[in-house]
Structure 1
Amino acid sequence: MSTTLETAPTLHVEVGGIRFAYRKLGPESGIPLVFLQHFTGTMDAWDPRVVNALAADRPVIVFNNTGVGTSTGAVPDTIEQMSTDAESFMVALGLTEVDLLGFSLGGFLAQVIATRSTVKARKLIVAGSAPRGGEEHLLQVVEEAFSKNARDVRLPLFFTPSAASQAAGSAFVDRATARRQDRDPESGDAVSNPQAAAIIAWCANKDAGHATLKAIRQPTLIVHGSDDTMFPSINAYEMFKHMSSATLIIYPDSGHGALFQHANTFVAHVQTFLNA
């Protein structure tokens, strides 16, 4: 593979007055795997070990949604508008059928996009996420994480206090900060405030009869950490229980960033799922 997440050039596509920044890895042919990012995360917050490994045999696209990183526009404060913007981005690239990997906030978008017909979503991977009306402790957990003055806020935010989880977290931070050229800027209040409002509203609005989950017919791989303090693992079980074609995996001794702590295992599970 000629390009990696650490070296791939940042490309741009404009649609509806928004200039989306994205990076593309892997082969030209095949169903693209589009990554949908977490709260305040940019393209550079993804784990290169995960992205590069998945790009070994399929096209992979990471991007900054409206107003995030080097993409222009104002960050929406609803999941519905974020989903519409993500769809606009994919349509602008000429993508007619995709697989979606949504982490945390990105998992909300994956659920919404899967129920629409703007872009055909073939399969979903939903990691560290929650259904509409799910349980969240976003602001409390973020505040506690910042109070610990860790080397990187993701260490207390994404990983458990155990020595093994923290060691895996440090290795993840090293990987995620390896890119030196053309890095996305860190997100500020203009990103975090509307995104937090969107997350809180998504979880506060109960979904009668789990209508959104029941409308998702696509095969879905649900992945969660055993001790996710931001979106407790009951959320993963609720999604699994009410989707018609879902598989649930919960990783041991792991928090919100379970997919990065258990990167090699996660990649193997995703590859098996997508290739089945």
Structure 2
Amino acid sequence: MTTHTHDTVPTQFVEASGIRFAYRRFGKTSGIPVVMNIHFRGTMDHWDPAVTDGLAQEREVILFDNAGIGASSWVTPSTIPSMATDAVAFIKALGLTKVDVLGYSVGGKVAQEIAVQAPDLVRKLVLVGTGPRGADTAASKAGEIFSATYDPPEHLWIAAHFLPNEKGYAAGLKYLERKHRRKDRSPEVSEVSATAQYAAIVSSNEKSDGVWDYLADIHQPTLVVDGSNDLIIPTINGYTLQQHMPNAQLIVYPDSSHGPQNQYPELFVAHTNMFLNA
């Protein structure tokens, strides 16, 4: 067990495919590590320490900034499969041959593509607040939420992750307090990188015949976690994942939106550890 926590673990760097990846790893060093893939406009510092430190009690946690994000170099790709290719290069550069992969929002789309591209590398998947290729976004409020102005600006993440009610706002404030305890943080995502991420999301959500067929080939045990009313990637997408993946289970948390793991961190850690330990 390392002595570091989310707030104290040093940032390290590794090079692969011409990219200098920034990453942090901490927790219990035996067993299969879990590699975490973050959301749109997110860096390593957008993970909830209550989640990462909770998971680190039972396994090694690896956080990283993908290409062009935060403290990592290079250019952010404009497709999800290219993001996954970079993530696979990062994982292999650490000398790892088997990992669990956790993906949140667009990171969940990347996690699926990692399993498609490198099936032997991935043991289990945890997909949070995400959807498949060709996701149903008809009821999404993402455009409205991300185009609004917030005072302070960090309250964007309350609107994006939590429901606009008293319970959601209170949970959002607690999340932001936990999130900002760390002092040496990755740089915020640039507008150039955010534009590339947005293009990747739009491309990934395009509808076509057989767009979900790839899910049948993801045989890894998969835990899908959703909020009951996800305002960014509507909750129905979690059900689609569970129905089309051969070895998936779905948990929907009550009275929650796009960040159920941030609203119920202890419960999420318990469910995730139970799933990964099984």
Tell me if both proteins adopt one fold, taking TM over 0.5 as the criterion: yes
Partner of 2:176: 173
Equivalenced residues, count: 275
Alignment CA distance shift 1:92-1:169 (3 Å): same
Partner of 2:265: 263
Tell me, yes or no, if the aligned pair for 1:126 and 1:221 is still in contact at 8 Å: yes
Tell me, yes or no, if the aligned pair for 2:88 and 2:118 is still in contact at 8 Å: no
Tell me, yes or no, if the aligned pair for 1:137 and 1:231 is still in contact at 8 Å: no
The structural deviation recorded for 1:62 is: 0.3
The structural deviation recorded for 1:188 is: 2.2
* 1:1-276 → structure 2 map (5 Å cutoff): 1-117=2-118, 120-136=121-137, 141-147=142-148, 149-151=150-152, 152-180=155-183, 182-206=184-208, 208=210, 210-276=212-278
1:137, 1:25 → 2: CA distance?
Answer: 39
Alignment deviations for residues 58-91 of structure 1 (CA, whole Å, 9 cap, x no partner): 1110000000001000000001110000000000
1:200, 1:138 → 2: CA distance?
Answer: 15
Tell me, yes or no, if the aligned pair for 2:134 and 2:208 is still in contact at 8 Å: yes
1:221, 1:41 → 2: CA distance?
Answer: 22
The structural deviation recorded for 1:157 is: 1.1
Where 1:183 maps in the other structure, the secondary structure is coil
Alignment CA distance shift 1:113-1:47 (3 Å): same
Tell me, yes or no, if the aligned pair for 2:145 and 2:156 is still in contact at 8 Å: no
Alignment deviations for residues 232-256 of structure 1 (CA, whole Å, 9 cap, x no partner): 0110000000111111001111111
Q: Which amino acid aligns with 2:131?
A: A
The structural deviation recorded for 1:117 is: 2.9
The structural deviation recorded for 1:29 is: 1.9
Alignment CA distance shift 1:157-1:70 (3 Å): same
Percent identity at matched positions?
44
The structural deviation recorded for 1:28 is: 2.2
Q: TM-score with structure 2 length normalisation?
A: 0.95
Alignment CA distance shift 1:94-1:141 (3 Å): same
Q: TM-score with structure 1 length normalisation?
A: 0.95
The structural deviation recorded for 1:142 is: 4.4
Tell me, yes or no, if the aligned pair for 2:230 and 2:256 is still in contact at 8 Å: yes
Alignment CA distance shift 1:194-1:207 (3 Å): farther
The structural deviation recorded for 1:205 is: 3.9
The structural deviation recorded for 1:120 is: 1.4
Q: Which amino acid aligns with 1:117?
A: A
Where 2:192 maps in the other structure, the secondary structure is helix
Alignment deviations for residues 113-156 of structure 1 (CA, whole Å, 9 cap, x no partner): 11233651100000000101112369952443552524321111
Q: Which is further off, 164-173 or 203-212?
A: 203-212
Tell me, yes or no, if the aligned pair for 1:222 and 1:249 is still in contact at 8 Å: yes
Taking only aligned residues, the RMSD between alpha carbons, in angstroms, comes to 1.7
